[in-house]
Amino acid sequence: VAYRLAFIGFGTVGQGLAEILLDKREALRSQYGFEWEVVAISDITKGAVYSEKGLDLSGVLSVLQKTGRLDGYSEGIKGWDSLKTIRETNADVIIEVTFTNIETAEPALSHVKTALSLGKHVVTSNKGPAALALEELTNLAKEKGVFFKFEGAVMSGTPLISVGLNGLAGSEIQEIRGILNGTTNYILTEMEKGKTYEEALREAQRLGYAEAVPDADVEGWDALAKILILANALMKANLKVKDVEREGITKITPSDIEEARREGKRWKLIARAQREGGKVTAQVRPQALPLEDPLAQVMGVTNALTFRTDLLGGVTVIGPGAGRKETGFALLTDLLEIHRYLSHGSRS
């Protein structure tokens, strides 16, 4: 039986996943027995379309490319908003890919809660719900016998949640420490090449890495949301935003960079959570790392995370932290994990 998917939000990441699903349709079927139909897409600016029998996804994408809208597609019901789409379509998996709101997690939190309450699986790359309401959403999903999956919320498709939950199962994760924000790592890398903070930020904005208002990145809020997700998901920390100490990179000067270089060190914005005396604490702050630290070698927009565990010592995962295909892929891995579990009754 094919999974019936509905996209809530259809921007960069949603379209990235749609393209992957189309490109890999045959391989997903033959290698994994995974079959899918997209029954609905609802986007606040591009419009919405629903067909209970399934949409011709490549047809929808080409209409979207030509007109910038979804409702030019010839068939189906048009105009259903996000909540109506979640409640009233026959989708059994909701793909939540609207924007991240780290203050309230809305509207994504309502999307996720509504879907789970109705017994629909949720896969998302949105940081808001996982950062602010992980325990509640995980419990709700369990109660309803469905999945809430969010691999793409941290480091896009580079596997961290699955490494922590599955690959490292049986060990105790004592510390996680990483470079979880590509924009600030890019800025620090450019400053090391001789740019001032302002010049490096402008370049990051020109390349589309940083927003016009760059605070979420440079003040450490994005990294905070991500370490919160990892600490709560992988270390059962039960931390809230206010529990995490936060300092961004705006105070780092070219002379700080030069001084670190003389000492054989390199500045990085480090997000860290550690277990001490049964309690997990977390911080985001710039640190000058010795060059031997694997994280010191991670340059540009690349991200990385080191797990320290009781049985394996340090394990570092390095990879892309963002991108259309990269984050679309994260959603695909979540879909495949749900499918593996439902079809074999096991997670691997």
Cα separation, 57 vs 21, whole angstroms: 9
Cβ distance to ligand NAP smaller for residue 14 or 164? 14
In the sheet with 313-319, reading across from the earlier edge strand, the strands are 245-246, 279-290, 265-276, 173-179, 303-309, 313-319
| Residue 100 engages ligand NAP in binding (rule: CB under 6 A) | yes
Q: Counting beta carbons within 10 angstroms of the beta carbon of residue 316, is it exposed (0 to 12), middle (13 to 18) or buried (19 or more)?
A: middle
Given a contact cutoff of 8 angstroms between Cβ atoms, the answer to whether 305 and 160 are in contact is yes
Cβ distance to ligand NAP smaller for residue 6 or 282? 6
Cβ at position 127, least distance to ligand NAP in Å? 6
Q: Which residues of 36-50 are buried (b: 16+ CB within 10 A; e: fewer)?
A: bbbbbbbbeebbbbb
Cβ at position 281, least distance to ligand NAP in Å? 25
| Residue 159 engages ligand NAP in binding (rule: CB under 6 A) | no
CA atoms within 13 A on the CB side of 248: 15
Cα separation, 330 vs 123, whole angstroms: 9
| Residue 299 engages ligand NAP in binding (rule: CB under 6 A) | no
User: Which residues lie across from 123 on neighbouring strands?
Assistant: 95, 149
Q: Which of these ranges, 11-19, 140-148, 233-241, 292-300, lies near ligand NAP under the rule CB under 6 A?
A: 11-19
Cβ distance to ligand NAP smaller for residue 70 or 289? 70
Answer for which of 323, 325, 333, 340 binds ligand NAP (CB under 6 A) is 323
Cβ at position 27, least distance to ligand NAP in Å? 23
Range 40-59, binding ligand NAP (CB under 6 A): 42-45
Q: Which residues of 271-287 are buried (b: 16+ CB within 10 A; e: fewer)?
A: bbbbbeeeebbbbbbbb
> In a 3-state reduction of DSSP, which class is residue 112?
helix
Q: Which of these ranges, 12-20, 30-38, 159-167, 286-294, lies near ligand NAP under the rule CB under 6 A?
A: 12-20
Answer for which of 2, 52, 75, 99 binds ligand NAP (CB under 6 A) is 99
Q: Catalytic: 226?
A: yes
Beta-strand pair 148-149/173-179: unpaired
Cβ distance to ligand NAP smaller for residue 99 or 341? 99
List active site positions: 226
Residues binding ligand NAP (CB under 6 A): 8-14, 42-45, 82, 97-100, 107, 125-127, 152, 156, 322-323, 327
